[in-house]
Amino acid sequence: MADTRSAAAHDAHGHDGHDAHGDAPHGSRRGYLIGFALSVLLTAVPFGVVMAGGVAAPVAAGLCMVLALVQIVVHMVFFLHMNSKSEAGWTMMALIFTIIVVVIALTGTLWVMYHMNANMMPDMSQMSGGM
């Protein structure tokens, strides 16, 4: 009898023995920790490269973009659990959407940074140097 009430109470809370998210794979603690460590590393390396200042600006920008793309893949695999076991249609749609958003964000950022640099006012020290 206790087992019947226990099962009924379990079902009353929406737990019917199946996962609430269907057959979606869930990550393990180890997987989350690996993803977190990779995310920290992929954030710290570009930060260190830029702050050290020993690398040419175009090379540093290219490295930052490549590591940002790798970080997107890390997030998709370790945190969003997108792999070959996921539903193929949704995974492909999510990947296409992610690529479109990244291309728009990178293109827009580079366009704005280029035009901000090209259209900046001259340095005030150059203007006062003639006096």
The full 3-state SS of the chain, as one line of letters, equals CHHHHHHHHHHHCCCCCCCCCCCCCCCCHHHHHHHHHHHHHHHHHHHHHHHHCCCCHHHHHHHHHHHHHHHHHHHHHHHCCCCCCCCHHHHHHHHHHHHHHHHHHHHHHHHHHHHHHHCCCCCHHHHHCCC
Domains of the chain, residue spans: 26-118
Per-residue pLDDT, 113 = 85
Per-residue pLDDT, 125 = 59
Q: Which pLDDT tens digits describe the chain residue by residue (131 residues)?
A: 455 454 444 444 444 444 444 554 567 899 899 999 999 999 999 999 999 988 888 898 889 989 988 998 898 888 888 776 666 667 777 778 888 998 898 889 888 988 888 888 676 556 665 55
Per-residue pLDDT, 86 = 62
Per-residue pLDDT, 124 = 58
Whole-model pTM?
0.58
